[in-house]
Structure 1
Amino acid sequence: MGEQNGRAVRLASFGGPEVLDIQEIPVPQPGPGQIRVRVTAAGLNPMDWKMTADADTAALFGLSLPTGFGTDYAGVVDRIGDKVTGFAPGDRVFGGALSRAVADFVVVDAAGAHAANEAYHTPDGVDDRTAATLAIAGRTASAALAAVGLRPDDIVLIGGAGGGVGVFAVQLARIAGARVIGTGAPASAHFLRELGAEPVAYGDGLADRVRSLAPGGVTAALDLQGTETVQVARELGVPDDRICTIAARVEGVPAANGAHAAPGALDGIARLVAAGRLRVPIEASFPIEQIRRAAELQAGRRVKGKVVIDL
């Protein structure tokens, strides 16, 4: 591979994993205030395939064809544009590059003013695969916990606790001092316990199972998958302003996404990883040539933790 071309996953039409193709494209050049990153790993998130599933959704994110795929990345700075300060070739970095991260190279703004067009220094002790999972899921979990005003004395019910956002939300809540009850499939119980949650099976009878674990009730709830946890939290007497969704909209209930995270949230999460206080389970990693298989696994919604593409 020469300087002039690099691999990138591209979509010529919107759709599912079957529309993902690998192409050789010209290597992007950084402009003023930008850096170019040689990507070593790209983390996948549900939003990646949701926002490229159809033209109307893609338009909401400012995407048009042809477009790339994936947002979370980690790698090494290999070129900087004019007027860039704080970064130099050879620096390890991570961050977001909206729907273009699964590629050999990405160009992002060094100032990092936009949540999906940014770079942060990767702390020592954080490997690139892990760094490539942090931006979307870490920010989203932080924003959701902030939306409910999490307190150390809370008992928080987290729906979808073993998913990509859930693994961050559970651990961040525990670090904050809260008690966590996490929903998941029965087979995920051991995984959830390792994260620090008390596992409870989702589905019919969830409210009763939560009552048996917390007879005094729960005080806050995050629904990271749909609306089941919202309904149960309401049944258990949790006020709407202490419930948060990320994947659905429920009237009266706050919704959060990564763009709502407080400044510095992502840096803080990376430091927790570096300090060994927060771990990111990676269920599977795939070479870029297996992008369709990786996207199918991610879209199946049975992943415990994260899926990463190696470049």
Structure 2
Amino acid sequence: MPQAVQLHNYGDIDVLKVEEVPQPTPAAGEVLVRVKAAGINPGEASIRKGVFKDTWPSTFPSGQGSDFAGVIEAVGEGVSGLQPGAEVIGFTHNRASQAEFVVVPQDQVTPKPANVPWEVAGGLFVAGTTAYAAVRAVDVKAGDTVVVSGASGGVGTLAVQLARLKGARVLGIASPARAEWLAAHGVDLVPYGDGLRERLLEAAGGHIDAFIDTYGQGYVQLAVELGIPPQRINTIIDFAAVQQYGVQAEGNAAGGRADVVAELAQLIADGQLEMPIARTYPLEQVQAAYRELEDRHTLGKIVLIPGKR
């Protein structure tokens, strides 16, 4: 029997188990994918802890994960244009990607470009479409000065690059340890900590056009205090601040489509976008993977690799 990450109740990292599960089979219009790589994301940790149980409740036992890339194993009746053996990038809305096999509707996969590594493809959906939607939400234009908090995280590393591709100047809030990576991607580091407001204004020459918050911890309030219009502030995490200040909260739900994944994958294939991989873990080390993720100090994405290594 194939293996999958399972949890039987809300809780800390130790509730994550890797267990044998029945082999899924594709229904009409669906494809069965053998997963080669599956990303992990902070939102999954919050769901596991029960933070969003009133909005997005879990039914136990529950699987976990949205991102994946793999090889089509079988197709259901009526599927066209996809055949067993095809390499794809995909996503599931059923908390099921952190597994050896996943079944999804055919419109939730897109071909994987040959030169996009498995671990990059497998971690692309959530971070990529979230960054895409956030940059779109604040209407980034050539010549704008844009601030991105959490600029070295999974979403942040992609958001800064997408904003640069729009022709913006980007100030990335991050640790000084990330200065080299940010500079290599045309981003000006502004270290977080006391005095951040003054450092941002100095770096920006006194005017900031837009702010993308990927971290929380009061950055929306800072953006408002900097005089940035609410419609040009977007947070993917601070939903209380959305209610308080009327800023935007566009993310994966707004950008999560196969055509967006395909566009991002092609940018990576063409060398115009990089998704740094902090580390990969075998599926059975899912607890260690989330432990590193929840420390919030990684550069880029952490990805699980199911199956035998």
Please say whether Structure 1 and Structure 2 have the same fold, judged by a TM-score greater than 0.5.
yes
Moved runs in structure 1, 4+ residues, more than 4 A? none
Which amino acid is the alignment partner of residue 199 of structure 1?
L
SS at match of 1:303: coil
Alignment of 1:74-223 (within 5 A): 74-98=69-93, 99-110=95-106, 112=107, 118-223=108-213
Cα 1:262/1:71, change in 2 over 3 Å: closer
User: For 2:252, which of 252, 258, 278 is the aligned residue?
Assistant: 258
Q: Once the 2 structures are TM-superposed, how far is the Cα of residue 191 of structure 1 from its aligned partner?
A: 2.5
Q: Once the 2 structures are TM-superposed, how far is the Cα of residue 153 of structure 1 from its aligned partner?
A: 1.5
Matched, 1:68 2:63: yes
**What does residue 115 of structure 1 align with?**
none
Q: Once the 2 structures are TM-superposed, how far is the Cα of residue 30 of structure 1 from its aligned partner?
A: 0.4
Cα 1:235/1:57, change in 2 over 3 Å: closer
Contact 1:181 1:198 in 2 (8 A): yes
TM-score by length of 2: 0.93
Distance 1:72 1:62 in 2: 19
**What does residue 300 of structure 1 align with?**
295
Cα 1:276/1:91, change in 2 over 3 Å: same
Deviations 1:144-171 (A, max 9, x none): 1111111112100111111110011011
Distance 2:278 2:148 in 1: 20
SS at match of 2:70: strand
Distance 2:129 2:57 in 1: 20
Contact 1:184 1:202 in 2 (8 A): yes
Q: Once the 2 structures are TM-superposed, how far is the Cα of residue 59 of structure 1 from its aligned partner?
A: 5.3
Distance 2:22 2:261 in 1: 31
Which amino acid is the alignment partner of residue 166 of structure 1?
G
Contact 1:102 1:309 in 2 (8 A): yes
Total equivalences in the alignment: 300
Contact 1:220 1:242 in 2 (8 A): yes
Which amino acid is the alignment partner of residue 49 of structure 1?
A
SS at match of 1:51: helix
CA root-mean-square deviation:
1.4
Distance 2:19 2:284 in 1: 10
Distance 1:94 1:59 in 2: 30
Distance 1:84 1:254 in 2: 37
Distance 2:189 2:264 in 1: 24
User: For 1:42, which of 33, 38, 45 is the aligned residue?
Assistant: 38
Matched, 1:278 2:268: no
Which amino acid is the alignment partner of residue 292 of structure 2?
L
Q: Determine which structure has the larger helix proportion and give its number.
A: 2
SS at match of 1:67: coil
Distance 1:262 1:74 in 2: 15
Which amino acid is the alignment partner of residue 107 of structure 1?
V
Matched, 1:231 2:221: yes
**What does residue 51 of structure 1 align with?**
47
Q: Once the 2 structures are TM-superposed, how far is the Cα of residue 298 of structure 1 from its aligned partner?
A: 0.8
Contact 1:158 1:229 in 2 (8 A): no
Deviations 1:219-254 (A, max 9, x none): 110111115332222222211111111101223111
**What does residue 267 of structure 1 align with?**
262
User: Please, which moves more after superposition, 25-34 or 191-200?
Assistant: 191-200
Distance 2:54 2:71 in 1: 30
Identity over aligned pairs, percent: 39
Contact 1:167 1:195 in 2 (8 A): no
**What does residue 3 of structure 2 align with?**
7
Distance 2:293 2:256 in 1: 27
User: For 2:12, which of 9, 13, 16 is the aligned residue?
Assistant: 16
Distance 2:119 2:127 in 1: 14
Q: Once the 2 structures are TM-superposed, how far is the Cα of residue 209 of structure 1 from its aligned partner?
A: 0.4
Q: Once the 2 structures are TM-superposed, how far is the Cα of residue 12 of structure 1 from its aligned partner?
A: 1.2
SS at match of 1:9: strand
SS at match of 1:26: coil
Distance 2:260 2:87 in 1: 19
Gaps of 5+ in 2: none
TM-score by length of 1: 0.93
